Amino acid sequence: MLGFIIRPPHQLLSLLLCPGLRIPRLSVLCAQPRLRAMAVSSSSWELPLVAVCQVTSTPDKEQNFITCAELIREAARLGACLAFLPEAFDFIARNPEETLHLSEPLGGNLLGEYTQLARECGLWLSLGGFHERGQDWEQTQKIYNCHVILNNKGSVVATYRKTHLCDVEIPGQGPMHESNSTIPGPSLESPISTPAGKIGLAICYDMRFPELSLALVQAGAEILTYPSAFGSVTGPAHWEVLLRARAIESQCYVVAAAQCGRHHEKRASYGHSMVVDPWGTVVARCSEGPGLCLARIDLNYLRRLRQHLPVFQHRRPELYGHLGHPLS
């Protein structure tokens, strides 16, 4: 498994990790401005490469696009086939009123810019959480938190509207009432085939619901993606352990692009974007601040792991019928 951490201004720290059960072998190098070849087998270089982008969105939509576009172009230059952006890649507003004001329909100008960018770079894009004015906008005056997948031709090939909204009050982190401006999505979406594998779509708070990840893997998912904007209190406590748990129990790769840093005077995010393999090993992660990390996806390794540890063949669904119901 190959992972890189990339930090502006394009200083590259690369990390070579062997997957799963093997002992990691570490090799660090810097390259300016081009990536130099590393001692790695030709077969691993042939595996699909994905890029995970970490940004600090603000209410400035134009500047946010410039930042994301720079990372996407860098991902394409480094040979990635798919780039993942975090939840709220388009903007993070100061209040629900500003959120609604800045939102757009899927057919609006901003998605048009990303469509053009996907075509220009020849890259698939996971746009992890778009503030979408849906077809019911006029009636509801509320939006959806929509995960959009674009193919390398710029076509929308999948959309998922966040089903679990984050209405929580964490001491020290400030209240979060997503439902003040957002409608929960009505359903899960079938995994979408991409050059990296079959991707199951989720968003941030969804990772706290293992039923969702198990439903996606039973529908064929090989990669679960959790674009996020985790808080500064829940992040250190729960972020990595939840992502690793979802990877282990589902025997999937997990890709989690994250918001980081201070967005404005009212909100900050934890960061630590990462890729986790089906064994639960973190194979790539971003350091502090905006940047990206890269990882190779080895589906043969995933299939071998599922063969050697066939937990889905051992499940007893007749025993679990009430899972997901509210506690009495």
Active site residues: 87, 162, 204
**Residue closest to 178 by CA, chosen among 128, 108, 229, 136:** 229
Give the span between the Cα atoms of 220 and 88, in whole angstroms: 27
For the chain, give percent helix, strand, coil, nearest 5.
Answer: 30, 30, 40
**Residue closest to 18 by CA, chosen among 255, 295, 285:** 295
DSSP codes joined into one string, 8-56: TTTEEEEEE---TTSPP-----EESSSPPP-S--HHHHTS-EEEEEEB-
Helix residue spans in 78-188 (DSSP H): 96-102, 109-121, 137-140
Two structure tokens written together for 9: 């201004």
